C-alpha cells in the first residue's frame, strides 16, 4: 500500500468510496477506536514484560542454570527460529480461529511460559521448554495483533496505525530491560511472577475485545479494495515485499548483532546502553511523524532512502568514537523506519490474502534475514578482528547496503516494469 494507491482516487468502487468519504470530517476518519487504543496500550505492556526478561535470558541460562555457552547459543537460536518462522503458521491458525481467539491463545501460551520460568529457575529442561512456549506465543500473537489493528481500517489509515504499533512496541523494548535490572539477577522468581501476572491481565483485557469485522478467509478491506496494482490495471510483478523484507532485516541485523562487540570496548557499557535507549526513543517519536510521508513514497524511492540511510550509518560507525556511533545509530534508525514500515504496507497492498497471513509471511522473511546476518556477520567480524581492524567490518556492511537496492531494483527491471504503477504520481 502506498499513498498513490490509497489516496489517488482510483477507478471503480474504490474511487467512489473515496469520493463519498470526502464529506466525512478528517478527524473522524483518523480517529483511533477503543479496541485499537487498547491494542496499542497492550502492545506496550506486552513488550515491556517480554523485554524485562528476554534480553537477560543468556545470563540466566548460563550463570544461574549452568548451561554451557554453546548450548545457550543453540537454545536462543531455536527460540528465535520458532518466533520468526512460526509466523508462517500463524496465518492458517488465525484463519481457522479468528483474530481475537488467536490472540487469546497466544497470550495464554506466553502467560504459561513465563509462569513456568518460576519453577524453571531450578530446572534447565523446564526453563528451555518455557522459553520455547513464550516464543511460540509470540509467533502467533504478532501477526494476529497487527491484523486486528488494521481490521476495517481504510488503506490510507494503515500507515498511521502500523507506525503507532511500532512505537508502542519500541517503547516497551526501551523500558523493559531498565525496569527489570534491579530484580533479574537478585530475585528472578519475583520478576517472572510479576511478568506472568501482567500477561494474565492483558490477556483478560483481550477477552473483552469485540470480534473483528473480518474473521473469515479474507479481510474486508482487502476484499473491498483490490490491491493497487490490480486496481490500476497493472500486473502483480515487480519488487517482492518478502524479498525486500529479507534483505532489509539482513542489512539491519549486522547493527543489532554486532554493535555491542564494537562499541563497548571502545566506549563503555553505559554509553552503549544510552545509545540503545536513545535509539528506541527516536523510533517511538519519529515513526508516527514520518508514516504518511513514507506511505507516499514509491517503493523504489523507499529502497533508496532506507538502504542509503543504513549505508551512511554503517560508514559513520566505522569512523568510530562516541560521535560516530551516535550518528550511525541515528541514521540506522531512519533506515529501519523507512524500510520496515514500507515493506509491511506494500505487502498488505500487493496481497489478496488475509492480513494475518501477510504479516506472518513478513515475520518469516525477517527471520530468514536475521538468520543470514548472524551467519555471515559472525564470519565477517571474526575476519576483521583477525586483521585487527573491526572498522573494516562496518565498511563491508556499508558496501552491502549500497549494493542491495541496486540488486533488488535490477531484478525488478529484468522482470519488466509495471506500466500504470511505475508512472503513478
pLDDT of residue 30: 58
With cut-offs at 50, 70 and 90, classify the pLDDT of residue 425: very low
For residue 277, give the CATH number of its domain: 1.20.1250.20
Q: Does residue 261 belong to any structural domain of this protein?
A: yes
216-244 mean pLDDT:
51
Q: How many CB atoms lie within 10 A of CB 266?
A: 15
Could you give the angle at which helices 355-386 and 124-150 cross, rounded to 10 degrees?
130
Side-chain-side CA neighbours of 299 within 13 Å: the count stands at 28
Which of 342, 316, 319, 339 has its CA nearest to residue 329?
Answer: 316
For 103, half-sphere exposure in the C-beta direction (CA atoms, 13 angstrom radius) is 28
Looking at the structure, do residues 161 and 218 belong to the same domain, yes or no?
yes
- 132 falls in which pLDDT band (50, 70, 90)? very high
- Please say which residue of 189, 223, 257 terminates a domain: 223
pLDDT value, residue 421: 38
Are 211 and 272 contained in the same domain? no
Same domain, 241 and 217: no
| Those residues with Cβ within 8 angstroms of residue 362's Cβ, 6 or more apart along the chain or in another chain | 87, 241, 242, 245, 343, 344, 347
Of 176-190, 330-344, 379-393, minimum mean pLDDT range: 176-190
Number of domains in the chain: 2
Is residue 422 a part of any domain in this protein?
A: no
Does residue 271 sit in the same domain as residue 397?
yes
Task: Provide the percentage of residues in the chain whose pLDDT is more than 70.
Answer: 83
Instruction: For residue 315, give its domain range.
Output: 237-413
What is the average pLDDT score of the chain?
81
Greater model confidence, 364 or 16:
364
Q: Alpha-carbon distance 137 to 111, whole Å?
A: 9
pLDDT score recorded for residue 203? 95
Q: Is 259 in the same domain as 317?
A: yes
Is residue 213 domain-shared with residue 352, that is, in the same domain? no
Classify residue 32 by its DSSP letter: P
Q: Is 327 helix (H, G, I), strand (E, B) or coil?
A: helix
Same domain, 84 and 191: yes
- Better-scored residue on pLDDT, 369 or 248: 248
**pLDDT interval class at 213 (50, 70, 90):** low
> Would 421 be classed as within a structural domain?
no
Q: Is the pLDDT of residue 54 over 70?
A: yes
* pLDDT at 29 exceeding the cut of 60: no
- Predicted pLDDT of residue 67: 85
Average pLDDT over residues 343-351: 92
The pLDDT of residue 346 is 94
The whole-number pLDDT of residue 343 equals 95
Cβ distance 2 to 345 under 8 Å?
A: yes
DSSP string, 202-225: HHHHHHTSPPPS--SSS-HHHHHS
Look at 15-19, 39-43, 95-99, 290-294 and tell me which has the smallest mean pLDDT: 15-19
Q: What is the phi-psi region of residue 413: left when phi exceeds 0, alpha when psi lies from -120 to 50, beta otherwise?
A: alpha
The answer to whether position 194 is within a domain reads yes
Cell of 100: 481475537
pLDDT at 136 over 60: yes
| CA distances for 353 relative to 102, 134, 227, angstroms | 17, 27, 10
Residues 400, 316 share a domain: yes
Residues 148 and 205 in one domain: yes
* Distance of alpha carbon 177 from alpha carbon 20, whole angstroms: 48
Amino acid at each position: 500500500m502506498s499513498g498513490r494507491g490509497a489516496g489517488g482516487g482510483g477507478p471503480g468502487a474504490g474511487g467512489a468510496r473515496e469520493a463519498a468519504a470526502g464529506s466525512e470530517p478528517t478527524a473522524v476518519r483518523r480517529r483511533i477506536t477503543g479496541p485499537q487504543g487498547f491494542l496499542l496500550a497492550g502492545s506496550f505492556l506486552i513488550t515491556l514484560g517480554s523485554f524485562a526478561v528476554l534480553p537477560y535470558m543468556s545470563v540466566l541460562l548460563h550463570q544461574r542454570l549452568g548451561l554451557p555457552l554453546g548450548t545457550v547459543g543453540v537454545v536462543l537460536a531455536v527460540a528465535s527460529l520458532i518466533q520468526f518462522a512460526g509466523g508462517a503458521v500463524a496465518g492458517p491458525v488465525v484463519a481457522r480461529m479468528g483474530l481475537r481467539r488467536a490472540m487469546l491463545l497466544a497470550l495464554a501460551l506466553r502467560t504459561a511460559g513465563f509462569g513456568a520460568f518460576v519453577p524453571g529457575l531450578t530446572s534447565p529442561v523446564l526453563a528451555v521448554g518455557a522459553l520455547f512456549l513464550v516464543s511460540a506465543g509470540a509467533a502467533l500473537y504478532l501477526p494476529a495483533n497487527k491484523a486486528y489493528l488494521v481490521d476495517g481500517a481504510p488503506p490510507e489509515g494503515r500507515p498511521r496505525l502500523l507506525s503507532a504499533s511500532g512505537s508502542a512496541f519500541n517503547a516497551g523494548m526501551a523500558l523493559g530491560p531498565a525496569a527489570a535490572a534491579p530484580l533479574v539477577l537478585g530475585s528472578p522468581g519475583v520478576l517472572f511472577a510479576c511478568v506472568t501476572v501482567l500477561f494474565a491481565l492483558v490477556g483478560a483485557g483481550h477477552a473483552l475485545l469485540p470480534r473483528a469485522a473480518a474473521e473469515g478467509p479474507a479481510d474486508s478491506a482487502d476484499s473491498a479494495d483490490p490491491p493497487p496494482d490490480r486496481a490500476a490495471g497493472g500486473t502483480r510483478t515487480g519488487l517482492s515485499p518478502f524479498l525486500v523484507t529479507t534483505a532489509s532485516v539482513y542489512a539491519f541485523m549486522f547493527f543489532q548483532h554486532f554493535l555491542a562487540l564494537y562499541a563497548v570496548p571502545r566506549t563503555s557499557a553505559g554509553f552503549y546502553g544510552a545509545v540503545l535507549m536513545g535509539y528506541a526513543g527516536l523510533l517511538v517519536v519519529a515513526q508516527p511523524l514520518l508514516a504518511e510521508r513514507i506511505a507516499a513514497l514509491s517503493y523504489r524511492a523507499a529502497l533508496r532512502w532506507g538502504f542509503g540511510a543504513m549505508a551512511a550509518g554503517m560508514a559513520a560507525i566505522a569512523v568510530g568514537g562516541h560521535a560516530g556511533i551516535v550518528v550511525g545509530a541515528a541514521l540506522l534508525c531512519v533506515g529501519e523506519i523507512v524500510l520496515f514500515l514500507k515493506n509491511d504496507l506494500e505487502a498488505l497492498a500487493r496481497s489478496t490474502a488475509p492480513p494475518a497471513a501477510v504479516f506472518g509471511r513478513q515475520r518469516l522473511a525477517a527471520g530468514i534475514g536475521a538468520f543470514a546476518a548472524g551467519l555471515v556477520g559472525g564470519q565477517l567480524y571474526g575476519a576483521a578482528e583477525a586483521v585487527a581492524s573491526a572498522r573494516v567490518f562496518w565498511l563491508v556492511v556499508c558496501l552491502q547496503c549500497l549494493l542491495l537496492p541496486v540488486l533488488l531494483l535490477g531484478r525488478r527491471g529484468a522482470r519488466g516494469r509495471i506500466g500504470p504503477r511505475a508512472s503513478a504520481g
